[in-house]
């Protein structure tokens, strides 16, 4: 019997955007190519945002044209405004637009200087543009499990926005624990609440320590989540997060999925070397 698939997106953007030094473009290219050659099929390679706001992502446009992208692999990059979308669309090698929406109104304003209502209008316009050129539109919902901005959180509000973002043209959704608010109960609550409304289970973008990762991932899997963002070496995390939390470690995630009987398309034995390579880029 075929094992059920769990999709893993290697989030190089989240791994690299908050580093104190920029990873050189040539080193990014070598690393990304190595991941594609090793079987990674979904990669978030950067963002088309203001280089003043996020200098480490300023070279994102130099990456797609040089990579050899195998059939079936998908490259995504983040877009937070019209200018970013135009820059994205110059690259036919990019498949998926990643748009950052925030369930917390305060964080939406702080991160992208828009209200949630304005962001929703952008989703409508941007998703239509993306679809015209054959791209997938992915919306990630930041602060999906709570926030440290003092804004109220409820599953009913989450479900309401999931529905509105889908109606606006979102093809795929992610639930992001931007500042590591979630515990396993909260993860289960959020994914279970989305079941009735999301056309497919959203992806999980969790921030954790190696000690807390297993229980959070298990709660998401148990609630039907079959897609995760992760980073080799557990690198990164939102630069706005204050704690020791980092991204879900790809190596541990692959092992956990394999033990639970899921197929990730990634071979456990390849990951030690890639993990070391990722960590050395960050040091
Ligand atoms: N690409 C390149 N430059 C951009 C840009 C883009 N997508 N968006 C804005 N800029 C530049 C503008 O050219 C302008 O530069 P100038 O000061 O030299 O004239 C400056 O940034 C401000 O532009 P403005 O139109 O006022 O931006 P805005 O207020 O509509 O939006 C954001 C600003 C949100 C796009 C910007 O703050 C940003 O990129 N933030 C990063 C968000 C992010 O990546 N968060 C982490 C991931 S969730
Ligand atoms: Zn993150």
pLDDT at 165 exceeding the cut of 90: yes
pLDDT at 204 exceeding the cut of 80: yes
Q: Which of 218, 183, 68, 194 is nearest to 141 (CA)?
A: 194
Nearest atom, ligand 1, residue 140 CA = 48
Distance, CA 14 to ligand 2 centroid (Å)?
Answer: 6
Task: Specify the higher pLDDT residue, 18 or 145.
Answer: 145
Model pLDDT for residues 108-161, shown as the tens digit of each residue: 999 999 999 999 999 999 999 999 999 999 999 999 999 999 999 999 999 999
Q: Is 237 left (phi over 0), alpha (psi -120 to 50) or beta?
A: left
User: In angstroms, rounded to a whole number, what is the distance separating the alpha carbons of residues 279 and 251?
Assistant: 12
User: In angstroms, rounded to a whole number, what is the distance separating the alpha carbons of residues 71 and 252?
Assistant: 26
* Ligand nearest the Cα atom of residue 230: 2
pLDDT at 244 exceeding the cut of 70: no
Q: Are 199 and 216 in contact (CB under 8 A)?
A: no
Distance, CA 41 to ligand 2 centroid (Å)?
Answer: 19
Nearest atom, ligand 1, residue 178 CA = 48
Q: Are 45 and 77 in contact (CB under 8 A)?
A: yes
CATH number of this structure's domain 4-282, picked from the four choices 3.60.10.10, 1.10.3720.10, 3.40.50.720, 3.20.20.70: 3.20.20.70
Mean pLDDT, rounded, of the chain: 94
- Helix residue ranges per DSSP H, 223-269: 250-259
Ligand 1 binding pocket, CB closer than 6 Å: 47-54, 78, 80-81, 83-84, 87, 100, 111-113
What does the domain layout of the chain look like in residue ranges? 4-282
* Residue 103 tokens, joined: 């369930």
Model pLDDT for residues 68-92, shown as the tens digit of each residue: 999 999 999 999 999 999 999 999 9
The reported pLDDT for the residue numbered 239 is: 58
**Percent share of the chain, pLDDT over 70:** 97
* Mutate which of 49, 91, 102 for ligand 1 pocket (most atoms within 8 A of beta carbon): 49
The reported pLDDT for the residue numbered 283 is: 83
* Mutate which of 49, 50, 112 for ligand 1 pocket (most atoms within 8 A of beta carbon): 50
Residue for token digits 């990730």? 264
Model pLDDT for residues 205-220, shown as the tens digit of each residue: 999 998 999 999 999 9
């Amino acid at each position: 019997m075929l094992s059920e698939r769990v999709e893993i997106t290697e989030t190089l953007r989240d791994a690299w955007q908050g580093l104190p030094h920029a990873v050189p473009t040539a080193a990014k290219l070598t690393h990304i190519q190595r991941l594609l050659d090793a079987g990674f099929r979904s990669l978030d390679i950067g963002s088309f945002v203001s280089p003043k706001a996020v200098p480490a992502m300023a070279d994102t446009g130099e990456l797609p044209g040089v990579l050899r992208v195998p059939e079936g692999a998908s490259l995504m990059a983040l877009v937070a405004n019209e200018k970013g979308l135009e820059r994205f669309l110059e690259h036919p090698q990019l498949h998926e637009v990643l748009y950052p929406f925030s369930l917390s109104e305060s964080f939406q304003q702080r991160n992208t200087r828009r209200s949630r209502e304005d962001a929703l209008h952008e989703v409508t316009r941007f998703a239509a543009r993306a679809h015209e050129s054959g791209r997938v539109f992915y919306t990630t919902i930041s602060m999906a499990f709570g926030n440290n901005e003092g804004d109220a959180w409820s599953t009913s509000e989450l479900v309401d926005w999931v529905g509105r973002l889908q109606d606006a043209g979102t093809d795929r959704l992610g639930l992001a624990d931007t500042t590591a608010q979630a515990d396993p109960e909260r993860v289960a609550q959020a994914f279970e609440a989305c079941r009735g409304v999301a056309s497919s289970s959203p992806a999980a973008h969790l921030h954790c320590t190696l000690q807390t990762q297993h229980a959070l991932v298990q709660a998401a899997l148990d609630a039907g989540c079959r897609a995760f963002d992760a980073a080799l070496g557990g690198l990164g995390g939102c630069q706005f997060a204050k704690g020791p939390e980092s991204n879900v470690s790809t190596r541990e995630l692959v092992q956990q999925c394999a033990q639970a009987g899921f197929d990730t398309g990634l071979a456990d034995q390849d990951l030690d070397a890639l993990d070391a390579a990722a960590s050395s880029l960050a040091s």
